[in-house]
Structure 1
Amino acid sequence: MTTTTVTRAAARVVDAVKVYGGGDTAVRALDGVSVDFPAGRFTAIMGPSGSGKSTLMHCAAGLDTLTSGTARIGDTDLSTLDDRRLTLLRRDRVGFVFQAFNLVPTLTVAENITLPLDLAGRRGDTEWVDALIDVVGLRDRLHHRPAELSGGQQQRVAVARAFAGRPDVVFADEPTGNLDSRSGGEVLGLLGRTVRQTGRTVVMVTHDPVAAAHADEVVFLADGRLVDRMDAPSADKVLDRMKAFEVPS
């Protein structure tokens, strides 16, 4: 008897189409993409410029709407939600880490981490937040303000903030784009450790093969279409795959 393990999707899109503009100037950013992002995994989205990778992340996260097709967080079809319920879903079930750290300069590290919970009027799980502080290595910086931190430390605050509400999935858009290679490596390692230690899910858009190598899996887009998936990526394997997208001069 063979036992098959079915991995739940933390997020997915099915037949996703996104068109910007109309008529002769219409741009088809997503062209029938179907992809699952498994729960408890770290998935990177890669592709050349204009491939649709950021559009895919924004639509999967409920930051943008599809022209057709469906986007789901867990079992929730985002197209069925009005603006208020979509806002609540993003607040309660989704975390975000962006290239710009987006910290509030007048708040301390501790206050920035718990800001989404405070705005929602939720006390949150204090043991969970306390454990996160140790995972991101900020125990001795809790009373500092962002201006007193390095760029890498600020992004670690943003990572802790994204996970503080125990979201179903955290979306990271070029999270190391403003960091030097050492700080970027620390943040990527942190994202991987957080997935392994907390069972949360991360979906990251990146253009960097070294960054993608920190993920469990890489999803490749080209011209708005899903063209490949790679398990256990290495920087060299990802770079070789990306070279296939290059147009000879």
Structure 2
Amino acid sequence: MTDADSRGTIAARAQQLTKAYGEGETRVVALDSVDVQIGRGQFTAIMGPSGSGKSTLMHCLAGLDTATSGKSWIGDTEITSLKDKALTKLRRDNIGFIFQAFNLLPTLTALENITLPMDIAGRKPDRAWLDNVIETVGLRDRLKHRPTELSGGQQQRVACARALASRPEIIFGDEPTGNLDSRSGAEVLGFLRRSVNELGQTIVMVTHDPNAASYADRVLFLADGRIVDEMLRPTSDAVLERMKRFDGARTS
């Protein structure tokens, strides 16, 4: 696909992205010349064994970590060549983040936590969009509650709404259901799926959970810093079988 073809359809991409730590004999390659494209309006899951490079790939794509070599883009903006100030602004204006720890401020209400990034940036939220997000997240009756008055699943849905509220180009989630029980995790994953279907959001999620991956449109499998396989329209059983092949390869 050419650059001209990709405009408007690709939310993020990487070209020969490499991340290495150390030098000489102690050099460890976390990402090994990765080429990848993330489709706009799609839910992509990244999976792989521990140490496969999945979190490193997400962090480099999101501009949270710097690559050793190669290039990556958010939309049409190459982020690998941006200075710190420009990169910080791009992350603030174009990227949403959802982490395993909810990262909510305990002194603020749910609504104040949702609008906090825009408040810091000095921007007023689009009220119609914010209302739509709040409706989709299903927490309208909890907006005045502080985090300690919410369940874990509700807190993570507040974090999801915060990521969505500024209408980012793309949302990155790092094990967003890792701290949740299965019911709360399903609530959050269902919300993320709806945000793609109903709000046109683009989501990239690192997960180790085959059930979580089954909510995605596409699963990328990493091993030893490389993308070794992908799966479209995944089911939890199919993902589990694919992951077992990784374990078999490592023990054989």
Taking structure 2 as the reference length, what is the TM-score of the superposition? Answer: 0.95
Task: Give the Å deviation of 1:5.
Answer: 10
Residues 1-249 of structure 1: matches in 2 within 5 Å?
Answer: 8-246=9-247, 247-248=250-251
> Which residue identity lines up with residue 209 of structure 2 in the other structure?
D
Aligned-partner residue type, residue 63 of structure 1: L
Unmatched 5+ residue regions in structure 1? none
Q: Percent identity?
A: 64
Letter in 1 for 2:220: V
3-state SS of 1:170 partner: strand
Please tell me whether the aligned partners of residues 7 and 38 of structure 1 are also in contact (alpha carbons under 8 angstroms): no
Structure 2 distance, partners of 1:22, 1:188, is 40
Code of the residue aligned with 2:143 in structure 1: it is L
Cα deviation, 1:211-234, whole Å, max 9, x if unaligned, reads 000001000000000101100000
**Paired residue secondary structure (2:208):** coil
Shift of 1:25: 1.2
Q: What is the distance in 2 between the residues matched to 1:123 and 1:6?
A: 28
Task: State whether residues 45 and 218 of structure 1, in contact with CA within 8 Å, keep that contact through their aligned partners in structure 2.
Answer: yes
| 3-state DSSP of counterpart to 1:101 | coil
Q: Residues 101-134 of structure 1: CA distance to partner in whole angstroms, max 9, x if unpaired?
A: 0000000000000000000000021110111111
1:79 CA drift (Å)? 1.8
Describe the shift of the 1:25–1:239 C-alpha distance in structure 2 as closer, same or farther (beyond 3 A): same
Q: Normalization by structure 1: what TM-score?
A: 0.97
How far does residue 248 in structure 1 lie from its aligned partner after superposition? 2.5
Cα distance in 2, alignment partners of residues 53 and 13 from structure 1? 14
CA distance in 1, matches of 2:224, 2:23: 18
Q: How big is the shift at 1:26?
A: 1.2
